[in-house]
Homo-oligomer: A and B are copies of this chain.
Amino acid sequence: MTEHDYDLLPSLIGYNLRQAQTAVFQDFSESLKDCNITPGQFGVLVLIAANTGLNQTSLGNALGIDRSTVVAVIDKLEGRGLVERSPAPKDRRSYALRLSEQGAELLQRARGLVADHEKRIAGDLQPTEQHQLIALLSRLRGK
């Protein structure tokens, strides 16, 4: 196979970010194929578990996705019996989201697999370097 000249691409933060994200996403999918969930779905489950009763709009805001997008995400998780839409006590327009028992079990299992996955992708990096990376990444988004 021919060698390629990548020019300035390897010097760009954006390019390296994309490459890293692709690789990490792929490893995530393989690591969690037992649970069959995506990084996005894992985030949703974690957020619902940690904020039981939040509604869909609120969940979308927390994750930076539109509320119309949340519908399909929750539809899928509800269809698998992992998440429940229960009536919100104080506002009949909205649902209070919560994990089912099965959802809680799956999340527990997923946490272990995610921990393994994180170890694998960061296996090269010292703990100090991992913290550095996270700190640098979070400064990238401006906060």
Contact = CB atoms under 8 A, between A and B. Distances in A.
Interface in A36-86: 39, 43, 46-47, 49-51, 54, 58, 61-62, 64
Query: How many chain copies?
Result: 2
Interface in A3-59: 4-25, 28, 39, 43, 46-47, 49-51, 54, 58
Contact of A137 (B1, B16, B46): B16
A20 B23 contact: no
Contacts of A22: 64, 141
Given A5-B50, A7-B50, A122-B140, 12 more contacts: A1-B58, A4-B51, A5-B47, A6-B46, A12-B118, A13-B121, A14-B24, A14-B28, A17-B21, A18-B39, A20-B138, A132-B136
